[in-house]
Chain A
Amino acid sequence: GAVVSQHPSRVICKSGTSVKIECRSLDFQATTMFWYRQFPKQSLMLMATSNEGSKATYEQGVEKDKFLINHASLTLSTLTVTSAHPEDSSFYICSATLQGYEQYFGPGTRLTVT
């Protein structure tokens, strides 16, 4: 149980375009989902906390107009990177939690902006 999927696993886009990443909890309803970003050889940085039906809470320094988060249902959250630039190239990982203390992590999405 407690499986989280992400789609796509890899995406390459051109600078200036937008890309959407989906995060789904497959066998449970997630009260909260989180989005992280990980640059090569670095740690995971929390970007935002997402609750179904409400606006996401962004960490300090994360541009909410650039990283749009929509949490439309208890099993789906999406992250849209708008007007992507090469510096946005990174590994994006989502996680989901079910009223508890543990987070279940997705497999990650590798974004490359050319």
Chain B
Amino acid sequence: ELKVEQNPLFLSMQEGKNYTIYCNYSTTSDRLYWYRQDPGKSLESLFVLLSNGAVKQEGRLMASLDTKARLSTLHITAAVHDLSATYFCAVDGGGTGNQFYFGTGTSLTVIP
């Protein structure tokens, strides 16, 4: 059974601080995705990581992928209130249909 685990599940941080969200998965996969979800909304794509060692940055967020460790990280730099949301990682299960399996989610609250 494929497992995708994130930690922490809940994160409360002050504005201006840095933090990292971790995503561990149990299958061999070279594709890892990060999404943001606001309350009552669907998913917003943040990053698509397609190979070992991939690193992508957008604004205050940076994502990386280590396929050998089966680990991806989402690093938040100098957090601002607008980053408050739930963040999900998703792994391509490697099947013929490119099924995605989502992590448990990290609910981030940035306190002014």
**Chain A residues near B (Cβ < 8 Å):** 32, 34, 36, 42-46, 49, 51, 57, 93, 95, 97, 101-103, 105-108, 110
Measured in the bound complex, the distance between the Cα atoms of B41 and A57 in whole Å is: 26
Q: Is the CB of A34 within 8 A of B48?
A: no
B15 within 8 A of A: no
- Which residues of B are found within 8 Å of A108, using beta-carbon distances? 41-42
Q: A49-B97, A101-B31 are in contact. Are A43 and B102 (CB under 8 A)?
A: yes
CA distance A46 to B4 in the complex (A): 13
Q: B: which residues have CB within 8 A of A? A: 31, 33, 35, 40-43, 45, 48, 50, 88, 90, 92, 97-105
Query: How far is it, in angstroms, between the C-alpha of A27 and the C-alpha of B40 when the chains are bound?
Result: 25
B43 touches A97 (CB 8 A): no
Please judge, given known A-B contacts A43-B88, A44-B88, whether A105 and B99 are in contact too, CB under 8 Å.
no
Q: Which chain A residues border B104 with CB–CB below 8 Å?
A: 43
A106 pairs with B42, CB closer than 8 A:
yes
B100 contacts A46, C-beta separation under 8 Å = yes
